[in-house]
Structure 1
Amino acid sequence: MKIDFAPWHVPLNRRLQTAVTLVWVFSFLALAPLCIFLFLYLLFTRYWLISVLYAIWWFTDYDTPWRGGRRVPFLCDLKLWDHMRDYFPVKLVKTADLDPKHNYVMGFHPHGVLVAGAFTNFCVYTTGFRQLFPGLTSYMLMLPLWFRAPFFRDYIMCGGLIPSDKESASYPLQVCRSGKAVVIAVGGAPEALDAHPGTFNVLLAKKKGFIKMAMEHGAHLVPVFSFGENEVFDQVDNPRGTWLRWTQERLQGIMGISLPLFHARGIFQYSFGLMPYRKPIHTVVGRPIPVQKNPRPTSEELDALHQHYMDELSNLFEKHKTDYGVDKNVHLNFV
């Protein structure tokens, strides 16, 4: 295989973009296991007190992720995140106002491999979420497993990430009656296995938990579609019914995380590696769907609102797809 190396004279700004994006990829793929190893390793060295003191802190602070987390605005506002935004680049597109007098449940689609668009738009402050939607604070959901990793849990909480179970997701909506936006990658880890370039499979047909949560708390629903999310990585073919897909789904059921076999480009060459491609991501925020508070919705009420949400997401996709390079004959496939 011929390797396509990057030219020597790459502008400094592009090198910085690659460096920051590399840190982000490393954080998602390897930082949690490294933190666990470091915590255990230090216990058997002269620095054992660091792990012991952290364990005490961890015990006293254990519930924080499930109580709204601990975002650090200073870190979210660092200019280095501008380099990651510009690497792809990522753009947040507003189609309607979101009144800060309400709370919102924002459904993010599709998940993609590493939810690059969701992180860049809703965790750090580089694409203008606070300016486009003044008065709103976003909380991005992440698998609870990652909040059980020492050190790593504190790192991800800095960006406003909270666990994706019902208790944690509901907390901001319970404590505050307005100004909170809980962002859910609805398809979750299973949808990452369908994240192939040129595909628009959305795992939503049977996903009703976030709809019920919105009804229970009277939070308005907002569909969000991220054009280009599936384009930044290639993935080994794994159609449903193949042995590879069967293995991935079984591992996902056991471990709680999916293991897509993805690849893209490298750091100093463009032929292979785990760095995402430089392809644009446009995250389009749709108009809100008003939701009346209903602590005990019936199945019929839940199904009706779920269908309404799918219709709004489909309309959002259809209205904007040709603006972002999607063929007019392509439609969303609800799985």
Structure 2
Amino acid sequence: MEQINGNHESFSSSVNARDDELTVIRAKPTSGLSEIIALAIWLGGIHFNVALVIMALLFLPKSLTFTVLGLLVLLMVIPIDEKSKPGRRLARFICKHVCGYFPVTLHVEDMKAFNPDQAYVFGYEPHSVLPIGVVSLADLTGFMPLPKMKVLASSAVFYTPFVRHIWTWLGLTPATRKNFTSLLKAGYSCIVVPGGVQETFLMKHGSESNVYKWWKPSGKLIQQLARAIKFTPVVFWGIFGTPVPFQHPMHIVVGKPIELKRNSQPTVEEVNEIHSKFVEAMQELFEKHKARVGQADLQLKIL
């Protein structure tokens, strides 16, 4: 799956099917206020935590400061009911309004190739500051005919107050091998970002998603720290310095599934072969669709 950002004309229709089996699903803009609220709830958790800690340290008496810090620690570890009805309603609200904000357009090469009774693995690129485009594949968004979807994310997310709650209700889960395997066995399609958070070290201005401005530290020490905490310390901001991203149309392209034979104990050579197939398919997908979304001169770099 490939994310391509660029300008395109505005559409009010939701689905278009073409003769070559390509299905185009365009999110319809909703209420501007609802879109901003949804984005702030979804993406503002980290900023909110930082602001809360700074305000507590600077403006509150010590007793209240310790209370705030203790509450945040508690929110880092208390169990989360991923099927919470209020939580899922909030997640549905986010999915609906976030897609309409940019707006998001999903291009699926062969929708009929996806069987609702099977589990698939989606490789999403690029990670960028945040892989925002995965919202187009969330089960609550309803664009894909797959009722059970999970996004595998860095385990650091699930130790971050507020963020861990919102993102769990949205369908995110820790990216561990055990978790990945058990989800596939349970029939869940899984979205993975092959480059992971480490991919953010390769970001360059002008070649990644334009929905955020960002600054990242450099150096081997920072890279080692990021690997240890499974989180890259990138400073990012959107409209007026807030976590609300800039409003640039976003295109997500889903290619045809790559058929594989199930193998629980693959060799290194077999893994490399499958990886090569994925990279080749991603390159073909990118070159095939970039001109259609107004990005004919955009170059794909694979490192």
Instruction: Identify the residue that residue 109 of structure 1 maps to in structure 2.
Output: 125
Tell me which of the two structures has the higher relative contact order, counting C-alpha pairs closer than 8 angstroms and 6 or more residues apart.
Answer: 2
Structure 2 distance, partners of 1:33, 1:263, is 14
Pairing of 1:146-295 with structure 2 (within 5 A): 146-149=157-160, 152-174=163-185, 176=186, 178=187, 180-199=188-207, 230-236=209-215, 244-246=218-220, 248-266=222-240, 272-295=241-264
Higher mean displacement: 180-189 or 97-106: 97-106
Pairing of 1:115-134 with structure 2 (within 5 A): 115-118=131-134, 120-123=135-138, 125-126=140-141, 128-129=142-143, 132-133=144-145
SS of the counterpart of 1:193?
Answer: helix
Structure 1 distance, partners of 2:151, 2:45, is 16
Q: Residues 123 and 274 from structure 1, CA distance in 2 versus in 1: closer, same or farther, beyond 3 angstroms?
A: same
SS of the counterpart of 2:218?
Answer: helix
Root mean square deviation, CA, Å: 3.5
Instruction: Identify the residue that residue 14 of structure 1 maps to in structure 2.
Output: 32
User: Do residues 26 (structure 1) and 44 (structure 2) align?
Assistant: yes
Instruction: Identify the residue that residue 139 of structure 1 maps to in structure 2.
Output: 150
Q: Residues 244 and 281 from structure 1, CA distance in 2 versus in 1: closer, same or farther, beyond 3 angstroms?
A: same
Displacement of 1:325 in angstroms is 2.4
1:85 is aligned, of 99, 102, 108, to 99
Displacement of 1:197 in angstroms is 4.9
Pairing of 1:29-40 with structure 2 (within 5 A): 29-31=47-49
SS of the counterpart of 2:167?
Answer: helix
Structure 1 distance, partners of 2:207, 2:73, is 48
Gaps of 5+ in 2: 1-29, 57-62
1:44-78 per-position Cα deviation (integer Å, ceiling 9, x unaligned): 76xx9x999989x94xx58x8xxxx5475433323
Gaps of 5+ in 1: 1-11, 201-229, 267-271
Q: Residues 194 and 313 from structure 1, CA distance in 2 versus in 1: closer, same or farther, beyond 3 angstroms?
A: same
The answer to whether the 8 Å contact 1:111/1:195 transfers is: no
SS of the counterpart of 1:262?
Answer: strand
The residue type equivalent to 1:116 in the other structure is I
The residue type equivalent to 1:233 in the other structure is Y
Displacement of 1:307 in angstroms is 0.7
User: Do residues 334 (structure 1) and 302 (structure 2) align?
Assistant: yes
Structure 1 distance, partners of 2:74, 2:229, is 29
Displacement of 1:276 in angstroms is 1.5
The answer to whether the 8 Å contact 1:234/1:262 transfers is: yes
Identity of aligned residues (%): 25
Instruction: Identify the residue that residue 224 of structure 1 maps to in structure 2.
Output: none
The answer to whether the 8 Å contact 2:110/2:255 transfers is: yes
Aligned pairs, number: 260
